[in-house]
Amino acid sequence: MLMQRYGLSELDVREGEVRMLLRTPSGEETAIAPGSARPAPGEAHAPLPPERQHTLVAPLTGTFYRSASPEAPPFVEVGSHVEPGQTVGLIEAMKLFSEVPADCAGTVHAILVQNGSLVQQGEPLMVLLLPES
């Protein structure tokens, strides 16, 4: 089941006046950032405490790329440590490439979109595990 695969106990979908609420029978709570129920295929990860997770979102609408070119290595992988301002991806819009910077320090816990996929402004791209305070 999709919800079990991604560790979700509840899924609430709203479209206009229509609402669909799905709950797992176990009722176990799992901390996952809003919008992060779409990990990249093959990337399993344990739930994070809500106070230690941060979601990086797309600064603009366009095509998201994880590397500078098809033959270049990805800017970050799951497990990579990032610093504020570090490039974690690129978004192409109208033939212009814009860097996607990390807005805080942390460790990449999940990459939520696939390379080459269309993203909307504000869409979650990655979940970071924040350093312990």
Structure tokens at 60: 């603009």
pLDDT on residue 1: 46
Q: 93: domain CATH number?
A: 2.40.50.100
Kindly tell me if the per-residue pLDDT of 40 is higher than 80.
no
Residues 46 and 8 in one domain: no
Residue 77: which of 61, 90, 91, 66 has the closest Cα? 66
Q: Which domain holds residue 18?
A: 1-30
pLDDT on residue 19: 64
Residues 98 and 55 in one domain: yes
Number of domains into which the chain is organized: 2
Q: Residue range 10-24: average pLDDT?
A: 65
pLDDT on residue 89: 98
Please state, in angstroms and as integers, the Cα–Cα distance from residue 5 to each residue in 20, 54, 61, following that order: 19, 21, 28
Please state, in angstroms and as integers, the Cα–Cα distance from residue 44 to each residue in 8, 64, 85, 103, 110, following that order: 13, 21, 26, 24, 8
Does 35 reside within a domain? no
What would the pLDDT profile of 61-84 be if each residue is shown by its tens digit? Answer: 999 999 999 999 999 999 999 999
Radius of gyration of the chain measured on its C-alpha atoms = 16
What would the pLDDT profile of 85-133 be if each residue is shown by its tens digit? Answer: 999 999 999 999 999 999 999 999 999 999 999 999 999 999 999 998 7
Residues 49 and 26 in one domain: no
Specify which residues 52 forms β-bridges with.
Answer: none
Kindly tell me if the per-residue pLDDT of 42 is higher than 60.
no
Residues 9 and 66 in one domain: no
pLDDT on residue 50: 77
pLDDT on residue 126: 96
Answer whether 79's CB lies under 8 Å from 65's CB.
no
Residues 67 and 124 in one domain: yes
pLDDT on residue 18: 66
What would the pLDDT profile of 21-32 be if each residue is shown by its tens digit? Answer: 666 665 444 444
